[in-house]
Amino acid sequence: MTDNEASVIDESTFSVRRTIRIAAPIEKVWTAVTEPEHISRWFGRTVLDGAGVGATGTITFADYGSVPIRVEQSDAPRTVSYRWGNDDALGHLRDELDDHATVFTFTLEPVQGGTQLTVVETGFEHTSDPAKNMASHGEGWVSELDKLVALLEGDA
């Protein structure tokens, strides 16, 4: 499995960023980060009420619960953004997206031998505890994206 660096937390911009390389073609990575049945294989059980910008639904994590989500932007096969109400520090899950939701964007680039994927999550200044949430999500992107790499490189 490709070894990738950890997430970078930028307290000045209230963001978390992680860039990884995956030994898989961009089309395969795009499918894995945009289609609910594929997202469910590495992230959390994902259900959307449609496809494309404006689709809403949930991502459900075992032992955590369901987090509301909405597709904010999509430019296949390069970028896709999701808004989600995952405020770990709050102590309970929100049923709907509100002003406290963060946005994460996947950007894909073809590179020699596969795809470079960068995730940037922003908006932590609007959460209940920005520092705690950035730390938690920084760790989360490491474990979740490492699952994506293992899945896609195992199937390659």
Given phi > 0 = left and psi -120 to 50 = alpha, else beta, which region is 113? left
Q: Please answer whether residues 68 and 87 qualify as being in contact, where contact means their C-beta atoms are separated by less than 8 angstroms.
A: no
pLDDT reported for residue 156? 43
This prediction's pTM: 0.95
Q: Please say whether the beta carbons of 126 and 134 come within 8 A.
A: no
Q: What per-residue confidence (pLDDT) applies to 155?
A: 52
Residues 114, 22, 19, 102, CA torsion sign = positive
> Distance (Å, rounded) from C-alpha 75 to C-alpha 86?
24
Query: What backbone phi and psi angles, to 5 degrees, belong to 80?
Result: -145, 135
pLDDT, position 136? 96
**For each of the chain's 156 residues, which pLDDT tens digit applies?**
788 999 999 999 999 999 999 999 999 999 999 999 999 999 999 999 998 999 999 999 998 999 999 999 999 999 999 999 999 899 888 889 998 999 999 999 999 999 999 999 999 999 999 999 999 999 999 999 999 999 999 854
* pLDDT value for 2: 80
State the pLDDT at residue 91. 87
CB-based contacts of 2, cutoff 8 Å, min separation 6 = 20, 21, 22, 23, 114, 149, 153
